[in-house]
Homo-oligomer: A and B are copies of this chain.
Amino acid sequence: MTLFTVSVALDGDRHYDILIGSGLLAQAGERLKALGGNSVAIVTDSNVADHHLDTVVQSCKAAGLNGHSIVVPAGEKSKSFAHLEQLCADLLEARIERGDLIVALGGGVIGDLTGFAAAILRRGVRCVQMPTSLLAQVDSSVGGKTGINTAFGKNLIGAFHQPSLVLADTDSLDTLPSREFRAGYAEVAKYGLINDTAFFAWLEHNHGAVFAGGEERRQAVRTSCAAKAAIVMRDEKESGERALLNLGHTFGHALEASVWYDGGRLVHGEGVAIGICLAFRFSAALGLCAAGDAERVERHFKAVGLPTRIQDIPGEVSSPEQLLVLMAQDKKVTQGQFNFILAHGIGQSFIARDVAVSKVEEFLQQELQEAV
């Protein structure tokens, strides 16, 4: 079975590996042991615990590590101050010290919450990400962004805290609900749309195999991790290019906020899928991108079963004004100007720093009128 390694090298001699392959969770203990430290706190959620916690715990035990398990409730609501405080208390109770390791075993919520707790516990404890969802494997576990949500928006409180190791066990994707896998796929396609036309074309031909599992799936995860790592290495703290990774996210976050983060109506990857389609149609409306490219993006997302329009979200639709307010509170705003990721075409995304609010409003009105 193939084992892929993507290395992330950062300034100040910081570097870590992302391992992608089958059966990695069963090797967790020996790989943690190799990093040093006596104690390991394994943080997971109630869903993931059923599938994978025992595998990791047994592996730690076999490696002679002193392991503690902490289970937090599943769901986006755990990315809150209240759960952060509880998790920090649990980690202190477990006497996790500066030289120890904190493991985030789960999807994006667990990775973001646990990574943030590791960043602030005793002013910084090492963290190992063991992403079990597609979204976490190709996006949130890589690059060091951690955080929680507030009433003002998603991820507005957080830290940059690079992991010491990422273990992406692709077997864990087999136990994912299909809706969750599909949502994560939006982030995979995103890498093609940002700057890799060939990868997008490959996905257009191979998405069936990627959804079915096996070598194509591992290949897609590897290509995605490598794409993200390359950008993070060039711009760790998002002073420039890293903002490209937010393609579809300004619209997407506003849509998530507009349904109060109700995962029954919209999960993050679905918001990103709609957001990416909106970003391409907005680019086309501004005359920056061929209308055919926007249609091609939408066609691919439809082919895999992802939503592509605001109207695809079940329930009441927000007004353009509401969405604008939510977008303005998003942290991709500098000095009151909209910071947007737009595209000149597939694989040709770019950062637009001075998008007029009136243009966005006009576009959203048009989008929502088409609903009627």
Contacts and interface: CB of A to CB of B under 8 A. Distances in A.
Interface of A: 11-12, 38, 81, 84-85, 88-89, 92-93, 95, 97-99, 116, 119-124, 145, 147, 150-153, 156-160, 237, 329, 331, 333-336
Contacts of A119: 159
A21 B336 CA distance: 36
Given A99-B335, A150-B88, A156 B122 contact: yes
A145 B120 CA distance: 11
A335 B97 contact: yes
Contacts of A156: 88, 92, 121-122
Main secondary structure of the interface of A (DSSP, over half): mixed
Nearest to A39: B335
B159 A120 contact: yes
A239 to B, nearest CB: 10
A160 B124 contact: yes
A83 to B, nearest CB: 11
A120 B158 contact: yes
Contact of A150 (B92, B158, B334): B92
A92 B152 contact: yes
Nearest to A116: B120
Contacts of A92: 150, 152-153, 156, 329
Given A92-B156, A97-B335, A124-B159, 10 more contacts: A11-B12, A81-B81, A88-B157, A95-B329, A97-B333, A120-B158, A121-B157, A123-B145, A123-B147, A159-B159
Q: Taking the full assembly, how many copies of this chain does it contain? A: 2
A93 B152 contact: yes
A90 to B, nearest CB: 11
A120 B120 contact: yes
B331 A151 contact: no
Given A12-B11, A81-B85, A85-B81, A122 B331 contact: yes
A58 to B, nearest CB: 24
A87 B105 CA distance: 31
A97 B153 CA distance: 13
Contacts of A11: 12
A243 to B, nearest CB: 11
Contacts of A38: 335
A281 B164 CA distance: 41
Contacts of A334: 97-99
Contacts of A158: 120, 122-123
A160 B99 contact: no
A45 to B, nearest CB: 21
B89 A152 contact: yes
9 contacts: A81-B84, A89-B150, A97-B333, A97-B335, A98-B331, A99-B335, A122-B331, A123-B159, A124-B160
A98 to B, nearest CB: 7
A123 B153 CA distance: 13
Contacts of A151: 89
A256 to B, nearest CB: 17
Nearest to A153: B92
A157 B120 contact: yes
Nearest to A100: B335
